[in-house]
Amino acid sequence: MTGYSVKQLAELAGVSIRTLHHYDQIGLLAPATKAESGYRCYGQAELLRLQQILFYKELKYPLKQIKAILDNPDFDLMDSLKQQRQQILQEADRLQQLLVTIDKTIVGLQNQEQMITDEELYEGFTSEQKEAYRQEVTERWGADKLQETEDRLRQLSSQEWTDVKAKGQAIEQLLADLMEQAHEVQTPLVQKAIAEHYAHICAYWTPNAQQYEGLGKMYVEDERFKAHYEQYAKGLAAYIYKAIQVYCANGMQGS
Amino acid sequence: MTGYSVKQLAELAGVSIRTLHHYDQIGLLAPATKAESGYRCYGQAELLRLQQILFYKELKYPLKQIKAILDNPDFDLMDSLKQQRQQILQEADRLQQLLVTIDKTIVGLQNQEQMITDEELYEGFTSEQKEAYRQEVTERWGADKLQETEDRLRQLSSQEWTDVKAKGQAIEQLLADLMEQAHEVQTPLVQKAIAEHYAHICAYWTPNAQQYEGLGKMYVEDERFKAHYEQYAKGLAAYIYKAIQVYCANGMQGS
DNA sequence: ACTTGACTCTCCCCTTACGTCATAGCTTTT
DNA sequence: AAAAGCTATGACGTAAGGGGAGAGTCAAGT
């Protein structure tokens, strides 16, 4: 039982030989004896000390501190541990915050990536129709209003909605806003919104054109439906019905 | 509008001048122009890029990665973000684990700190009595057995027991072991154990010496009590009763 | 006794993301 | 023109080792 060589101790403790060299160098863990050849030889006491070192290293103590702890018998370990705990807690909080930031970034990126193009947004309309319409809206409401509305439509198409009801509300609110801004029902954005509405309905059942038109009719004739829509804006039920009629007349496509 | 000097940009972005030097050095953020004097001059584009750098730095990206992200337009940011998220999540988990470890260490240390001393353990006995007794026990059962028994007693006194029933069981088991090791009832450790027993009883009610002795008597005479104690060891009820008698005769102190 | 292969030693440079001088040159103010 | 303020480059240091070069040492096989 001559003790452990560097390799043996390293393997026993699961550290590298270089680490032992380093610890010797900084005076953190000196070998029990050094042969005249210069070979390091460690005993039981050193193994124990190494295990303590590794324990504190786990707790993210810097080596200098560990040396102080192990070399000073009257080191206030309790106080130090509480401080260390505080620090780690702070770091953990920061990481949690980071996760939120990353998640937001990811979601933002997804929306951006899946953003549909202008062609998709104005599907079924010619390029001229599209530009004429955009110009008209811009003149009436400004470029930013147009931008906002287009973006809302894009998000409706692209974002995965975990909450189907929320999506429904977003569509209805958008239609209400379009009506209040006096977009006529056959215009591209309204038709696109109706397309989204149809897609949304399909989450529950899949009506054909006739059935869908019947549904629109119900919106104005059935008091319960009507009340639901009128809470967004007066006349919304009728507006949607007219829009649906146009949508169905055009074969349930944008144009 | 000639752009920003190092100092201006540094203050704007909240970094040090050295940092800007460094970023220039590693090609992460080169100034827009360099005056013939060598002075760096940054423009709007550089300010923007710096802000992006700082954002990714927040997310713990190494500078090399940041450079890769910003210089490669077709860098797969989404994938990278997910990876980064995974890493941070792991680190966060590790920190949570660390907190648990630290807490355990703190609790362990508290119990150790509150460990009572030899004097307290052998309260009421003289130093000579104590040593003679310890020697005898050591000869009969070995030093480690003595150590173990003393430690169990110390833990009974020091540890805060959240579970009162568990403490009662620990006391009874200890008394049973003392009896099986043939400790006589007037010896220090047995008397200390009885003191703990008394303290434990006090969690429910506070008998005086006479009442406590009466309780001891009941342990042997009432079948229900007796059966409870005899499950640890045959004769335990009687052993405890004798120990209680000694304890009360000595004025309810160790000696 | 000799050689081989495994092991070990001591330098020394490299890593990250800068902080901290030191020394010298440029600009602006007094 | 001198003083004050700003800037540049270069070098060294940090924490905790990683990796390698060149040289010495140990135990075993031939």
Q: How far apart are CA B171 and CA A205, in angstroms?
A: 70
pLDDT of residue A142: 77
Overall size of chain A counted in residues: 255
> Is A20 strand, coil or helix?
helix
Report pLDDT digits (tens) over B3-40.
899 999 999 999 999 999 999 999 999 999 999 999 99
Suggest the residue from A83, A86, A105, A115 to mutate for an interface test with chain B (most B CBs closer than 10 A).
A105
Residues A191 and A243 sit within 8 Å (Cβ to Cβ): yes
Question: Burial code of B153-179, b = ≥16 C-beta within 10 A, e = fewer?
Answer: bbbbeeeeeeeeeebbebbbebbbbbb
Q: Which residue of B has its CA nearest to A56?
A: B102
Q: Which residue of B has its CA nearest to A100?
A: B85
Residue type, A85: R
Suggest the residue from A99, A100, A107, A111 to mutate for an interface test with chain B (most B CBs closer than 10 A).
A99
Residue A115 C-alpha, separation from nearest chain B C-alpha, in angstroms:
15
Report pLDDT digits (tens) over A150-191.
877 777 776 666 667 778 888 999 999 999 988 999 998 999
Give contacts of A109 with chain B, Cβ < 8 Å: 77-78, 81
pLDDT of residue B57: 96
Q: Tell if A64 CB is < 7 Å from nucleic strand D.
A: yes
Q: Which nucleotide's C1' atom has the smallest distance to the CA of B19?
A: C18
Q: What is the largest CA-CA distance in chain A?
A: 103
Q: Enter the tokens of residue B159.
A: 């540890």
Q: How far apart are CA A153 and CA A33, in angstroms?
A: 77
Give the Cβ contact number of residue B64 at 10 Å. Answer: 10
Whether the predicted pLDDT of B161 surpasses 70: no
- Please indicate if any CB of chain B lies within 8 Å of the CB of A73: no
Q: Which residue of B has its CA nearest to A79?
A: B106
Residue A107 C-alpha, separation from nearest chain B C-alpha, in angstroms:
9
In Å, how far are A111, A120, A177, A206 from A159, measured between CA atoms? 6, 15, 20, 21
Whole-model pTM: value is: 0.60
Give the Cβ contact number of residue A227 at 10 Å. Answer: 10
Instruction: Specify the residue for token string 């802000």.
Output: B51
Residues B238 and B220 sit within 8 Å (Cβ to Cβ): yes
Q: Enter the tokens of residue A156.
A: 């409706």
Q: How far apart are CA A249 and CA A243, in angstroms?
A: 10
Q: How far apart are CA A67 and CA B234, in angstroms?
A: 53
Q: Enter the tokens of residue B142.
A: 């070995």
CA of residue B44 relative to chain centroid, distance: 53
pLDDT of residue B159: 62
Give the Cβ contact number of residue B139 at 10 Å. Answer: 10
ipTM over 0.95: no
Instruction: Specify the residue for token string 């752009």.
Output: B3
Residues B84 and A102 sit within 8 Å (Cβ to Cβ): yes
Whether the predicted pLDDT of B145 surpasses 70: yes
Q: Given its phi and psi angles, is residue A252 left (phi above 0), alpha (psi -120 to 50 degrees) or beta?
A: left
| Sequence-separated (6 or more) residues with CB below 8 Å from residue B107 | none
pLDDT band of A105, cuts 50, 70, 90: confident
Residues B254 and B122 sit within 8 Å (Cβ to Cβ): yes
The mean pLDDT value for A74-88 works out to 90
Report pLDDT digits (tens) over B200-218.
888 888 889 999 999 999 9
- Please indicate if any CB of chain B lies within 8 Å of the CB of A77: yes
Suggest the residue from B106, B109, B113, B114 to mutate for an interface test with chain A (most A CBs closer than 10 A).
B106
Q: Tell if B39 CB is < 7 Å from nucleic strand D.
A: yes
- Please indicate if any CB of chain B lies within 8 Å of the CB of A88: yes
pLDDT of residue A170: 86
Whether the predicted pLDDT of A1 surpasses 60: no
Residues B181 and B174 sit within 8 Å (Cβ to Cβ): no
**Helix, strand, coil content of chain B in percent (nearest 5):** 70, 0, 25
Q: CB distance B88–A77 less than 8 Å?
A: no
H or E segment at B34?
strand B33-34
